[in-house]
Every structure is written in structure tokens, then in C-alpha cells.
Structure 1
Amino acid sequence: MSAERNLLFDLVSIASASYKEAEACDYLNARLPSLGWDKSYIDYVGNVVATKGEGDNEIILLGHIDTVEGGPKPKVEDDTLWGRGAVDAKGPLCAMAIAGGKVKLARNCKLTLIAAIGEESDSRGILYRLPLHKPKACIVGEPSNTRGITIGYRGCIRAILKAKDGGGHRSADAGPLTSVTLAASEILNRLRSNDQSGKSIAYSPSGAIVSMRGQERGRRTAKMELDIRVPIGGTLEEYRLLVEKICKKYKKYKVEYDIALAIPPHVTDKNNIVAKAFRTALRRQKLEPRVVVKSGTADFNHAAAWDCPMVAYGPGDSTLDHTMTEHIVLSEYLKSIDVLETAIVLISSYVSSGVGFL
């Protein structure tokens, strides 16, 4: 098995669910210097950070090393690697690690690889790194089927609906469990009614129940967490007000809400220099570029704070994210390394000299 395949198989074989990333981080940190990176270390919160080159023009390769729980047992069958994280997002992370280690940077350029922790939970890894960098360009490692150039993601609101009382008879007062369920149902139905039929799901809102809990033992309590996806073009305030308005309808039933998480949607210019570099790199590999926007939310949204040209790119089929059939085609993974290497060289040349490549 080649070094490229070994790196990915080994990393996928190390379980690294959010808050349990330490072993995988130690492994990657130890491997990066042998891949061509000048320096590698684990930062204060647990991210793996590697650098190459020196200069004022920083290019960031931002991936994440954490995964959700579960997944298929890691194994290789012919040209396919199975395992949690193969697609989301150790495949893209390893592709960036290999490609970044190979490239020859232009003068006055610095390349930084960040294997962030916590992307699947609270994004604590990228939030810690944000004030430490002022990059001229950023590539976010997320699956895009090798040919895709992702320029946007929906936002996310986590709303917690809750209610409680001192007790009552259900025949006269349905109680907190019922009132919270009705309020949540109305929110979800309203989101569905706003569906922009015929357009990409990224431009429509959606909602799902993350968890629900309640009991009736004298005192009655209910709590439900909703995952509301904010479409590209929408605002966090618009959807917070939707939750507030519906909860107010159930005020007499003591329904309240908290916002546990709020991440705005973000879309970049499809003609920014990073996107152009990937179009050129893909065509050099005889692949037809495809610009996409995604229905999920990622560290891409947080990286918008850097206000630099950016896209997300990587091998893997994102419809397999978080599933029990998660797998990646190894030949596509290897091809993405070639695409990334070319794109990084083009971006490096541009940020160093300001000379375009198209």
C-alpha cells in the first residue's frame, strides 16, 4: 500500500469522535514532518497545526480530524476504503496533508495545515485559530466528489424549546410535553412551507429534531432541540424570530426557547482566485469542474471571518457522510491530491506576485 493510502487508512482506523480526537491528533502530528512539512505541533486546544515556508502571504488548508460516532469497520476492498471519517473528512484532510507537503511554494509564501478538532460539535478548533491568522487564501477540506468546487454552505440554528409545570391532569391540561411538541411541529411545518421548489436545497430552510426529553411524575417537564438550517440568502435573525413568534403562541403553556448555536450561511464569489485555481487544476487532470453549494454547515462558515478567497474541496461522496456505508474510492482520493497540488501552486504564485493564471 502506498504512503498516501497508508496515511488515510491509518487515520481512519483511529476512532476520533468529537472530544476524543487526541490519539488521531498524536498520530497525524508525528507523520506530517515525513510528508514534507517544516514544522508540526498540537496547539493549546488540541488542533494539529503544520507549516511550510515563510513569508507574509499565508495560505491555509483547513480540515477537521474529528468525526461523528459509529460507522463501518475500517477495511480496504479493491479500490475502496470503508470506515468512519473516510469521507467526512479524513479523506480531504489527508489529501491536503499529502499535497501540501509536496508543493514548492512561491517566494514569500507560507502554507499552514490545520487539522481542527470539534467540527462535528462546537467548532472549538477553528474558533481558537480564527484570531491567530490573516490568510490571503483558504482551502477547506470537505468532500466534493473530487470534481466539485464548493462555494457555499447553509447556516445553522440550534433552538431548544422547553416547558415545565407543577403538575396537572392531562384530561384538562395536556401539559408541557404536548405544548412543546405542538410548538416544534409548527416551526418545522413553517420551515417546510418555505421550501423553494425547483432550487437547490441550499437556498431553502429545513428543520429536524435533534433530541427530545420529558417526563410526568407529579412535576411535568419537556425539552426538545431543533436543528434549523438557514438558507443561503437568509439571516439568523429571520429564523430566530420565527422560533420566538411561535413560542409566544404557546406562552400560556409556558413554552420558552434558548438558542444554543447560531452560525450564519456563507457563500463566496465563484470567480475568486481559489475557485479559479481549482477550475484550472481540475481541467489539467481532464476533469470538468462543477461549482456547488451545500445543504450542510461546516467550519467553512466560521472561516468566512478571515474575509479571504476560499472554497471547500476534497474527495468523497458527501451523501455518505455519517452513514453506516461511509467509504471512499481510493483512486479518486489519489486524483484529488494531484488537483490540490496544482491548485496550491497556482494560488501560491498569485498571492506572491499578484499575477493571474486565467
Structure 2
Amino acid sequence: MNTKDMLLEMLNIYSPSSNEGEIAKLIKEYMVKLDFENPVIDSELNVISVNGKDKPYVFLCGHEDTVPGMLEVKEDVYQIYGRGAVDAKSSLLALILGARKAMDRGFKGKILVSAASGEESDSKGINNILKNYSGYDYAVFGEPGGPMNITAGYKGRLLMKVCVKTGTHHASSSWMEANSVDLLMDLWTAIKNKYGSNKDFNSVTAGITKFNGGQYDNMTPEQASMYIDIRYPKSRSEEDIVNEMKYYMKNILKENYTYDIASRTLPYISDIKSPLVKSFKSGISKNGMVPKLIFKSGSGDMNTLGNEWKIPAITYGPGNTQLSHTGDEVIDIREIDSAVNVISDSLIDLQGNQS
């Protein structure tokens, strides 16, 4: 089965977070056919295979889940469309095929190849892997960035939930006092004006992701809540950011509000002088491209593992990252084949640099 057929089969399995069972079975079948050592599906539906035993010890991790929203799977010559075509089944497939090609060419290092669950939601997959495996020297995560780009850093993330309670009035008397929705809208406007337009990697950004308020169509809402997704660079601390948000809440909401950090992810910046980065630069160059380090405003499993294991880690994979989580996911199959070659060459180079 060629790369194109494998990807089409993967995309035809709809696998949003918490529904990874079917795609996990397919990935395991692929690994068996490709002669990976004893691939297993663990308790969190990760697919894992550990191969080889010599240095270096390399952890390769793509994710098998997608965001919700089914898309039509179709092909047009080299273009493949479907949910996960960009984020990130193409990258997962490139890691699997790249590892296999490297081993076929004589790579003797220890490689843990994994397809993780829950990356787009609660990170249950990577957290379970962290509990059960350790001792690796380098990590490579599969996410879109383009075959010439190495993602060397991600921002941290705070997901903050803010709730407000106020008095309620007949809708015809809404002028009597600001209600809970009014107040949260004012709060979000202030936060958006401060952080909403920041595009620089070294700045704090914020986006509203959920808003809920009101129960009856003839009464002003008594309570309302919203989620704010905050991304921040390594130069800023969580404490500083929370204090800034508390300042806005205190001055706008005044009282009768609560806030909670629903989830948090620490920022991660890779060691750009590490053998891992050097080997991937070499692998990209060998395939006729000019390597480039990029830093993304998002976050991923690399943040979690990089901060826990404290090893050099990068993210690499085919595809236009701006199409992630959109209704326009499309990948050029030639990008996947190019990424496979880069991964294989990079692993061979990494092995050669071991002393």
C-alpha cells in the first residue's frame, strides 16, 4: 500500500478526541504490516512500538485524534482533502514511514514510535506515555509546519473560565443595571483590546472560545460565563498573567465573580544547538530545501513532554499549519513523501553523531 492509499484510509476514519478506537486499530495494523516490533494499543488508545536498543534513544510521536467536524474525504491528483489531512494524520504517517525507512537503512538506535490519543483535548495519551516510559534522549512530534521547517518552540496556554452573577430584571427594564452578560462583554472587550491583536511570538495573546448566559427571552440574565484561551511566551510567568486578568476582572466586574484555571500548559523552547536540531537541518538540506526554525503561538504534546523529560524536542511534519482546525484541510501527498525522506535522513545523521 502506498502513502496516498494509507492516508486516504486514515482520513476515512473519523476520529475526533475520545473516539480513537477505530483509528488506533488501523495504525496498529499498519505497524504490523511494516514489521514494527510488537505494536500495542494501551489503556488510553495510544498505539506504541519500541524498536532497537542502541543509542540514540529517540521518541517519535504523532497524534491520531482530530478536532470535531467531519469533512468530505476526496482527492485531486496530488491533493488530499479531509479532516486530519493537515492536523495531523499526514505528520503521523510521515513519522511512521520515516522511522521504518531509517531502520531499513541501518538505523540501530532505540525508537519509540507512537500514535497518541487526546492531543486535541485533554492530552490523555501523552500523559499515559509519560507514566510508563522514560530514558529517551530526543523527541520528535508530528504536526504540520512544512517539510522545510522545524518547529522549535510553542507558547504556553492558560484556559481561564470566568463566571458572573448579577440581579435580574424584566427585559423592558434592562437600563436599571448592568447584567452578567453586559459585564462579561465589557471584560472581554478590554482583554481583546489589550491582547487580541498580538501576533508576535514573544507577546501574550487571548481569544474567547465559549460564552454562555441567559435563560429566558424576557428577563435580563442573572449569570453568565466565558472561557478565555490565553497563550503566553516563556518570558512571561503564569502568575503575572493571572494577576493582569484579575486586574481587569476587579475593575470591570467589581464583585460577584469567580474565575478558575480550567487547564494549563507550560511553554517550551527547544535547544536549537542540540544534535537533534542539527540533524534535522542536515536532513532538510540533503533533500534540496533550506531549513528554517519556526516558533508557533499554539501549544501541543511537545510542551508537556519537553517540560517533563527535559530533553531536546522538536515538532516536524508536512502541511500548512494555517489550515489546521479549519474546513479547508488539504495536503499535497508529495510533501508527505518529502517529510518521510527528511525524517529518515535526520535519524541516520543523528545516529552518526553519537560518540
TM-score, normalising length from structure 2? 0.92
Q: Paired residue for 1:17?
A: 16
Q: Paired residue for 1:41?
A: 40
Secondary structure at 2:322 match in 1: helix
Q: Which stretch of the first structure deviates more once superposed, 244-253 or 45-54?
A: 244-253
- Preserved CA contact (<8 Å) 2:196 2:207: no
- Preserved CA contact (<8 Å) 2:107 2:347: no
Give the superposition deviation at 1:95: 0.5
The CA distance in 2 between the partners of 1:56 and 1:288, in whole Å, is 28
| Identity level (%) | 28
Q: Paired residue for 1:307?
A: 310
The CA distance in 1 between the partners of 2:281 and 2:42, in whole Å, is 33
Give the superposition deviation at 1:72: 3.1
Q: Paired residue for 2:187?
A: 183
Q: Which stretch of the first structure deviates more once superposed, 12-21 or 214-223?
A: 214-223
Secondary structure at 1:26 match in 2: helix
Q: Paired residue for 1:174?
A: 178
Q: Paired residue for 1:29?
A: 28
Give the superposition deviation at 1:297: 1.0
The CA distance in 2 between the partners of 1:187 and 1:264, in whole Å, is 21
Per-residue CA shift, 1:36-64, capped at 9, x if unaligned?
31120111111111121125742100111
The CA distance in 2 between the partners of 1:141 and 1:167, in whole Å, is 50
The CA distance in 2 between the partners of 1:101 and 1:51, in whole Å, is 12
Give the superposition deviation at 1:288: 0.8
Q: Paired residue for 1:161?
A: 162
The CA distance in 1 between the partners of 2:41 and 2:111, in whole Å, is 16
Q: Paired residue for 1:135?
A: 136
- Preserved CA contact (<8 Å) 1:187 1:242: no
User: Is 1:327 matched up with 2:291?
Assistant: no
User: Is 1:221 matched up with 2:223?
Assistant: yes
The CA distance in 2 between the partners of 1:252 and 1:204, in whole Å, is 27
| Runs of 4+ deviating beyond 3 Å | 216-219, 250-253
Q: Paired residue for 1:259?
A: 261
- Preserved CA contact (<8 Å) 1:25 1:48: yes
Give the superposition deviation at 1:201: 2.6
Unaligned runs of 5+ in 2: none
- Preserved CA contact (<8 Å) 1:63 1:115: yes
The CA distance in 2 between the partners of 1:97 and 1:77, in whole Å, is 24
What is the one-letter code of the residue matched to 1:124? Answer: K
Per-residue CA shift, 1:206-239, capped at 9, x if unaligned?
1111010111556711011111111342222221
What is the one-letter code of the residue matched to 2:349? Answer: L
Identify if the C-alpha distance between structure 1 residues 127 and 281 changes in structure 2 by more than 3 Å, giving closer, same or farther.
Answer: same
The CA distance in 1 between the partners of 2:83 and 2:279, in whole Å, is 30
User: Is 1:89 matched up with 2:93?
Assistant: no
Q: Paired residue for 1:348?
A: 351
TM-score, normalising length from structure 1? 0.91
Give the RMSD, CA atoms, in angstroms.
1.9
Per-residue CA shift, 1:136-159, capped at 9, x if unaligned?
011111111110011001111111
User: Is 1:73 matched up with 2:72?
Assistant: yes
Secondary structure at 2:241 match in 1: helix
Q: Which stretch of the first structure deviates more once superposed, 20-29 or 54-63?
A: 54-63
Give the superposition deviation at 1:253: 4.0
Identify if the C-alpha distance between structure 1 residues 216 and 165 changes in structure 2 by more than 3 Å, giving closer, same or farther.
Answer: farther
